[in-house]
Structures are given as C-alpha cells and as structure tokens.
Amino acid sequence: MMYNKIAQLFKNQPGRSLNVYFTAGFPELESTTTILQTLQEAGADLVEIGMPYSDPLADGPTIQQSNTVALNNGMSIKKLFEQLNNVRDTVTLPIILMGYLNPVLQFGFENFCREAARVGVDGLIIPDMPLVEYEEEYQAIFEKYNLSAIFLITPQTSEDRIRKIDDLTNAFIYMVSTASTTGNTVAGTDNQLAYFERIKQMNLKNPKLIGFGISDKKSFDLACRYAEGAIIGSAFIKVIQQPTGLQENIRDFIYLIKSGEEIFS
C-alpha cells in the first residue's frame, strides 16, 4: 500500500480524532474550499465531503435538507472535482468523499475514482455499495487509485461480517452508534455502551470512528472512550447553515468539541 493520509493520521494520533461531515455546495455553491480550510485551521482531523443526492436514504432530515439546497445551488460531482482541483495546495487533512452509489455510477465508477485520486482524495464512503459488489467489481479499482474503502457497521452487524469488513478496509471502521438515520442523539444507554464495549473488545486491526448522533463535546467524549474518534455531521450542518459568521462559527464549534477537560475521565 502506498502512502495514505488516513492511515498516517491514526498512526500519529491514536485517539480523539474528529471527522467532520459537510455537504458539498451547502450552504453556498462555492463554500466547499472555505469550509475545508477553516476546518483545518480549527483543528478537525479528517473531513468527509458529502456529494449531494436527491434520495439520501440513510440520512435524516437535516442532511437531506442540505442535500436539496446543494442540488438547487447547482452542485454536482463534476463541479465538486473542479472545486477540489487545487485543494491540496492548502489543505493537508485526509479527505473522504461520501455519497450514494447511483450518482457515482452515472459519473462512471472508474472515472470517479481516477478524478478523486487526481485531486487528492484519500477514501470513499458509499453506504449503499454492497460488500459483495465491492469485492467482485470495485475493490480492484479502489486499489488501483490508492483509495481506501470505508464501511459502516451497526449494532446489528454480525461478528463475522465485522471481521470481514476489518479485512477489507485499511482506513477506519465507521461505527454507526445506533439503529437510526443521521441526526439523532447518542443516548449512552446500557445497550449502546455494551455495543461500544463489545466492538472495542474485538481488537480490530483498523481504528474505529463512531458516527450518527455525535453532536457536542459530551457525545464526542463518550465516543472517544470506546473508539479512536467520532464523526459529526448533522450538528455541523446546523452550524454552517447559520446566515452569518461561517468561519467564526466553525472555529467556535470545533473548539468546543475538541478542547477542554474530558467530562468522562
């Protein structure tokens, strides 16, 4: 495996990694680069750029709404690659693209991977790409362009399947915190903590990031007790949809999440 920024990140910083999701083209068509640069300055560790889709099944209302706005703004995969053309001049954070399979297929799967690699993307999350299709059709293309495939697991995912996913990826495992779409709250129930603990005890070779329901310092800290970090999406979308002070709002939000004493110490 060639040098990969995601693997490097977890090697250098084994815990408390903050992965922030935002939707490309939201709130404004041309916000993408500003948001990326501000996230880097503010101390985010990875970024996940959502490629907007008309029918985002796994997402809740906040992210769906941001997708609709972005599409109405004129965002497309082609446009996103144009925006990311020179991104590596200023942004060193690992960059992951997240999106549903259909728009990627229409772009052309290999074309998509080639373009992603060209602009400096490190990994892809395609939640509705079946594992079996990945192994048979797409894995070779991911590897050809040195892109990491990132897969989700949920409280219902079997141990065998988690082991298989751990074998198939070289970035991190996206641990969906609970049975829900995006935008709910991590409650920290006994069941949930038992699930976090169970996965922690599996000693997987890849780091894990907990997502879905991480919205503030408290839930971020909770996630970091069981995993190498967490992913924040809907809560961040709410921050950037404020009408004014985009950069300042981002800095304040990241600061609040990452700094200070851990509540659970």
Partner 1 sequence: MDFSVDERGYYGKFGGAYIPEMLYPNVEELRQKYLDIIYEPSFQEELDELLRDYVGRPTPLYYAKRLSEKFNTKIYLKREDLAHTGAHKINNTVGQILLAKRLGKKRIIAETGAGQHGVATATVCALAGLECIVYMGQIDTERQKPNVARMKLLGAKVIPVTSGSQTLKDATNEAIRDWISNPEDTHYIIGSVVGPHPYPDMVARFQAVISAEVRQQLLYKEGTEFPNYVVACVGGGSNAAGAFYHYLNEPAVNLVAVEAAGHGVNSGLSAATSVLGSLGIIHGSKTLLMQTEDGQIVEPHSISAGLDYPGIGPMHAHLYDSGRAKFYAITDEEAMQGVVLCSRMEGIIPAIESAHAIAALHYMQLKPDDVVVLNLSGRGDKDLQTIINYLDEHDVQ
What is the set of active-site residues?
Answer: 48, 59
Rounded to the nearest whole angstrom, what is the least distance from the CB of residue 264 to partner 1 in the complex? Answer: 26
**Three-class SS string for 160-189?**
HHHHHHHHHCCCCEEEECCCCCCCCCCCCC
Least distance CB 174 / partner 1 (angstroms): 9
- Closest approach of partner 1 to the CB of residue 211, in Å: 12
Interface residues toward partner 1, by CB under 8 A: 53-55, 57-58, 60-61, 64, 71, 76-78, 100-107, 127-130, 132-133, 151-154, 156-158, 161, 176, 179-181
- Minimum CB separation from partner 1 for residue 1, in Å? 24
Which of 23, 21, 45, 41 lies closest to 32 in space, CA to CA? 23
Joined together, the tokens standing for residue 37 give: 């640069």
Q: What is the CA radius of gyration of the chain?
A: 17
What φ, ψ does residue 70 adopt, rounded to 5°? -60, -40
In whole angstroms, the minimum distance from the beta carbon of 3 to partner 1 comes to 28
Q: Which is nearer to partner 1, 57 or 202 (CB)?
A: 57
Comparing CA positions, the residue from 128, 144, 123 lying closest to residue 4 is 123
Distance CA 148, CA 263 (A): 33
**DSSP alpha helix (H) spans, the chain:** 5-12, 32-42, 61-73, 77-83, 101-107, 109-119, 131-133, 139-144, 159-168, 190-200, 217-226, 234-240, 246-258
Q: Which is nearer to partner 1, 146 or 181 (CB)?
A: 181
Structure tokens at 179: 């049975």
Residue 199: partners with Cβ closer than 8 Å, 6 or more residues away:
153, 162, 175, 208, 226, 227
- Find the Cα–Cα–Cα–Cα dihedral 67, 73, 76, 82, rounded to 10°: -130
- Dmax of the chain from CA atoms? 48
Q: Please state the closest distance from residue 8 (CB atom) to partner 1, in A.
A: 26
